[in-house]
A and B are shown apart, each in its own frame.
Chain A
Amino acid sequence: MLLEFKDIDTYYGDLHVLKKVNYAIEEGEIVSLLGGNACGKSTTMKTIMGVVRPVRGTVIFDGKPIEKLPTAERVKRGIAPVLEARRLFPRMTVFENLEMGAYLRARGPEFDEDLERVYSLFPRVKERRNQIAGTLSGGEQQMVAMGRALMARPRLLCMDEPSMGLSPIFVEQVFDIIQQINKQGTTIFMVEQNANMALQIAHRAYVLQTGQVVLSGNAADLRRDPMIREAYLGEMQVPVT
């Protein structure tokens, strides 16, 4: 197991957001987390990154508990986020954003290697490297956000809504690239509203509802699940009369 949640309870003040949640993600997988608004998906991501601390339960990364570690230490151990709504540093250049992704790593051949990798995955990012990040289009910003996360050379990439607000063409590109990144050896845990696309590229998925895991399994099986089809794939079941 690369990442495990064991009976995680997370609160925002009095609000009980995650309720005894369990996840288990194997190295090399793409795992998708589905669910409606305010079900705890983003809180899951923040709990992994250590921006939100669980009240009970254990988060295990690479065999060691990490729930008490500061965010920087988690990044050092190989967890990198692609944040919801991109969250680039808007007044820094594209290149500086990529540098921030590698903040905890030394400059050197490894850095250059990763930069080349990002540029070959996203030729547009290379073209725009000296542009101010806030002036890019949404799709370009998403590419920079993914590139920035890759600059940390992560073992686990936590993506929060990578397709949000993108045009359909970009959505497909983004999902293509997620698969490529995964094939190059990075494990991916992905929160996604676009369940249709997510289930096409994911190996497995969890379905979260009001803070509880209500369903989990192989992506292929979930695609056929009637509840998933109705609730997340937009297929109404016509009642037989």
Chain B
Amino acid sequence: MTFSSLLLQQTINGLSLGAMYALLALGFTLIYGILELINFAHFNVFMIGSFVALWVLQGFGLSGQAIVLTGLPLVGVLVAAFAVTMGGCGLLGVAIERVTLRPLRNVTGPAAMITTIGVSYILFNIVLLITSAQTMNFPNPLPPLQWNVGGAVVTLQELLIWGVAPILMLGLWAFVQKSRLGKAMRATAQDPEAARMMGVEVDKVVMTAFFLGSALAGAGGMIFGLYYNFTSFLIGFTAGLRAFTAAVLGGIGNVPGAMVGGILIGLIEAYSGQFIATEWADVIIFSILVLVLVFRPSGLFGRVAPTKS
């Protein structure tokens, strides 16, 4: 393989990973934007998402790579799996907020953040127990199609990811920009007290943020399974940390920032894996994060100066 085809191949890989990180990063950013809370439970909501998707696909009689679907059945199964996974994870996120975080809403300090770490470990251990710590083979109903593009290979999985992730992100973007509840979310993020005095019910806004963020994490989890063809109770930590980095890199609280940050982290991971060494990928990712934060503490898209009032 020539250098340019390697570069192209890693760009393809990086965009796929990046789409997954971006979906996951959006959840961090949505919740941070509204509650100024870093939700570490998000790591394992993502992990659970991959298992929900696994169980749904198994429910359709799929296992491993043995059964391949095409046409309408394939589309139907994928849509159903994404819908159930996202809905389930969304509700899980809402439940986490309702049960563990709302009682702490007016408590200042790190109590709520520490709680999310605790919740994260609870989710982690539940799945550990259910799966007996085994790595699971993720059903892949996609036909093994692939295309040669300029010396690089694009698989059907990757095309699927490139289709699904932007649709979800555009959907989120439109919701936040145009819908009544989305505007209430933005208003609450910018001035919670003023939003409340316009009649915005903060609890509803917080619930919406948790639902949407967790649903996107679920979609990310399913994409992880389809991309790597496996899942395990361990996947939340690495992917979650990288996605969190992506959110900070883009400017936490900033929706487009999380999308761009996710793609960047995906590309960095792919390039450094190819051209340096896989073991160095995280070192490079976090070094770039440190550099960005030194020179732009509020992230690439973060607000540098407070707006005048």
Which residues of A are at the interface with B, using a C-beta cutoff of 8 A? 49, 51, 70-72, 75-76, 81, 83, 85-92, 96, 99-101, 103-104, 134-135, 141, 148, 152
Contacts A103-B180, A134-B308 given; indicate if A89 touches B197 (C-beta within 8 A). Answer: no
Residues in chain B near residue A101, CB distance under 8 A: 198
A86, B180: Cα distance in complex, Å: 22
B195 contacts which of A85, A89, A99 (Cβ < 8 Å)? A89
Q: Are B309 and A72 in contact (CB under 8 A)?
A: no
Starting from the known contacts A88-B194, A104-B198, 8 additional A-B residue pairs (CB-CB under 8 Å) come to A51-B193, A87-B309, A89-B194, A89-B195, A90-B190, A100-B187, A100-B198, A134-B307
Contact indicator B183/A100 (Cβ below 8 Å) = yes
Query: Contacts A88-B309, A90-B309 hold; do A75 and B187 have CB atoms under 8 A apart?
Result: no
Out of A51, A89, A92, A141, which one reaches B196, CB within 8 Å? A51
**In chain B, residues 192-232, which have Cβ atoms closer than 8 Å to a Cβ of chain A?**
193-201
Contacts of B300 in A (CB 8 A): none
Query: What are 26 A-B residue pairs whose CB atoms fall within 8 Å in the complex?
Result: A51-B196, A70-B201, A72-B199, A72-B201, A75-B199, A76-B199, A83-B194, A87-B193, A88-B309, A89-B186, A90-B190, A90-B307, A90-B308, A90-B309, A91-B190, A92-B186, A92-B190, A99-B183, A100-B184, A100-B195, A100-B200, A101-B198, A103-B184, A103-B200, A135-B307, A141-B309
Interface size on B, residues (CB 8 A): 19
Contacts of B307 in A (CB 8 A): 90-91, 134-135
Contacts of A96 in B (CB 8 A): 183, 186
What 9 A-B pairs come out closest when comparing CB atoms?
A: A134-B307, A75-B199, A90-B307, A104-B199, A87-B194, A72-B199, A89-B190, A103-B198, A89-B187
CB distance from A151 to the nearest CB of B (A): 9
Q: How far is the CA of A101 from the CA of B308 in the complex (A)?
A: 20
**Within the assembled complex, what's the spacing in Å between the Cα atoms of A61 and B198?**
18
Does B197 contact A81, Cβ atoms closer than 8 Å?
Answer: yes
- Report how many A-B pairs have Cβ atoms within 8 Å: 71
Is B191's beta carbon under 8 Å from chain A?
yes
Contact B199 A86 (CB under 8 A): no
Chain A residues, Cβ within 8 Å of B308:
90, 134
| Interface set, chain B 281-309, CB cutoff 8 A to A | 307-309
Q: Is the Cβ of B199 less than 8 Å from the Cβ of A152?
A: yes
Q: Which residues of B contact A99 (CB under 8 A)?
A: 183
Q: How far is the CB of B197 from chain A (nearest CB, A)?
A: 5
Per-residue A-contact encoding for B235-279, CB less than 8 Å = 1, 0 else: 000000000000000000000000000000000000000000000
Residues of A contacting B198 in the complex (Cβ-Cβ under 8 angstroms): 75, 100-101, 103-104, 148, 152
Are A71 and B183 neighbours in the complex by a CB distance under 8 Å? no
Complex contact A49–B199 (CB within 8 A)? no
Could you say which residues of chain A place their CB within 8 Å of the CB of B195?
89, 100
CA distance A76 to B201 in the complex (A): 12
- In the complex, the answer to whether A72 meets B200 with C-beta atoms within 8 Å is yes
A76-B199, A104-B199 known; A89 and B309 CB under 8 Å? no
Separation of A49 and B197 alpha carbons in the complex (Å) = 7
Query: Are A103's CB and B186's CB within 8 A?
Result: no
User: Contacts A71-B199, A101-B198, A104-B199 hold; do A91 and B186 have CB atoms under 8 A apart?
Assistant: yes
Residues in B with CB closer than 8 Å to A135 are 307
- Bound complex: CA A121 to CA B186 (Å): 27
* Interface contact A71-B197, CB-CB below 8 Å: yes
Which residues of chain A have C-beta atoms less than 8 A from B187's C-beta? 89, 92, 100
Q: How far is the CA of A104 from the CA of B198 in the complex (A)?
A: 8
